[in-house]
Structure 1
Amino acid sequence: MHVHPYIWIVTIVIMVALLLADALILGRRPHMPTMKECVSFIGLYVVLAVLFGLGVIGASGGEFGKQFFAVWLTEYSLSLDNLFIFIILMTKFKVPGYLQQFTLLVGIMVALLFRGVFIGLGQAVLNAWAWVFFLFGAFLLYSAIGLVRDYLRKTPEDEDAGDNAVMRWVRKHLPATGDYRGAAMFVREDGKILATSLFIVVLALSTADLLFALDSIPASYGLTGEAYLIFTANVFALMGLRQLYFLLGNLLHKLVYLPLGLSVILGFISVKLILHALHHYGLDQRWFGVRTEISVEVSLAVIVVTLLVTAVTSIIHSRRVGRGADAAGS
């Protein structure tokens, strides 16, 4: 898939313009979004992603279109896991309701910047050293096992999501006000520039998402080698994340099997990466006598079926628990 530099420039300019316009509007009028507003924006971003995927099919063929949809669905499903951490951080830092949407938007803007860097580095590394696919595959398998382990221990929600090396350094060295000052991240008091609590929570959100990117970007490269498709899929997945945060809220806790579903997806992609590396070096024919690469159709089917099974079984489980609680109460 050949993507002209002009296409990259136009894509980035449009994305930056949308984010800046959104930030300026929210910065002037921070508010809690209504249910109608959330549904409208999520629907808009989903429609735009689908139209973009259809555009890729029309311009570059069905194979690349299917790769985009596979990456987009994977990134979107992984972003649901991000929301659990976002909810914990919002609660931990006691972010006022009217500031939460603006906080999420700024955090997402920083996350997109970091992910863009990660995607560029990933492309350069893979082009130079194809054996890195083995490392990516092993890392994703480790992440998948970690999700299962955390699910069995029932500990993910108890972890201190805002406790990492960056946040510890900031709390120790950065002069701060200790409170919120509207949408301002820095204020001047007595000739000193102080960081507000809004800056601290945005930094916490950004560093948390940076850690999630260590899983999601290698997973995306397991589905396609096209950096442009990975970048645009990340944009569409993250753009509707803040509305999804308010729309789902506590409903996310009803997706009890989400960690297991994500572990299946990451585990599958890790196997796909390793098999791709074996094929690249001709080891599949030498060891097994057959081509071991997994097609994008199979990848897309596994992702869609896993997400559907995860959602349906989670809903059934939640309803049974609800009926059991009602029966116990009566």
Structure 2
Amino acid sequence: MSKAVLLVNLGSPDSTSVSDVKRYLDEFLTDERVIDKAFVRKVIVPLIILNTRPKKSAEAYASVWTDEGSPLIVTSEHQAEKLGQSVAPKVYLAMRYGNPSIANVISQILKDGVTSLYVIPLYPQYAMSSYETVVVKVMEEINQQKPDLDVSFLQPFYNDPDYLDILAESIGENLPEGTDKLVFSFHGIPERHLRVSDPSHAHCLCVKDCCTRANPAHATCYKHQCLMTVKGVVERLKLPEDKYFVSFQSRLGRDPWLTPYTDATLARFGREGVKKVRVVCPAFVTDCLETLEEIAEEAKEIFEDAGGEDFAVIPCLNEDDRWIQYLAKQVEGWLNS
């Protein structure tokens, strides 16, 4: 039996041209697990968003693009290469949106004679717009191309002690003495997605303290899993409560999204005299537009304009050897299961 590993990350436009960015956004924003309202997905996106947003997004991508290409793609390729040097099975890389596409990579995997596949969605927490859509897309392609392919998935690892050890160490190494606030900025999602992902439809955002009261819904609750990641990190770093804060970034549209918002939080900190801030984005394991442009550039400007003085983003785990070895350990566990 030939075994292989497939890493799947978010994706990126092929270039910073407006046409490539528009093509990428079209695929991303018409995913029903990203925008679950059919009217918005089928009418607002093509008629309004795709006629206004690509130019601005292209400028944002251009500000972080490297000579090698998209930072997310380049770093993901390096992650796959390093993992491939650490484990026996061949390691492939695909993107949920854009290239290399899941469809094409699975086609290549099958041509290479793979009969057993271990898929690693590169998302620590479960959300329908991240982890779930990867699983769904991979299974759609497998069911079309080879339904009898043996496939397993790495489950969300937001509370895995080994992962939390690595994340906390990485943050601690980038947290200078005298930091006033460590902001954990997670990618936002509409509040509605929490209710949709709750199989009971009676716990998330329905029960007081829903994220801290034990419930089976937590297995698919993004907010709970974000908070558990933070809890694990601050316990390891022994951070007092007044030294850290949790917020959410990247909202789109007018529907209620998870709060508090990162941009508003940083503006408030600046006005209140908070001078030294570090931001970490633990919804990502790879630096991308949301960390390199939205936080490192836009959020920094917001904080400094409001009176803040010392701002920096703590890098994602990227190619950290400890992170690669964590992935290798998961692969070994699959091989031995």
- After TM superposition, the score normalised by the length of structure 1 is 0.24
Select the structure that is richer in strand. Answer: 2
Larger Rg: 1
Q: Greater relative contact order (Cα 8 A, min sep 6): structure 1 or 2?
A: 1
Higher helix share: 1
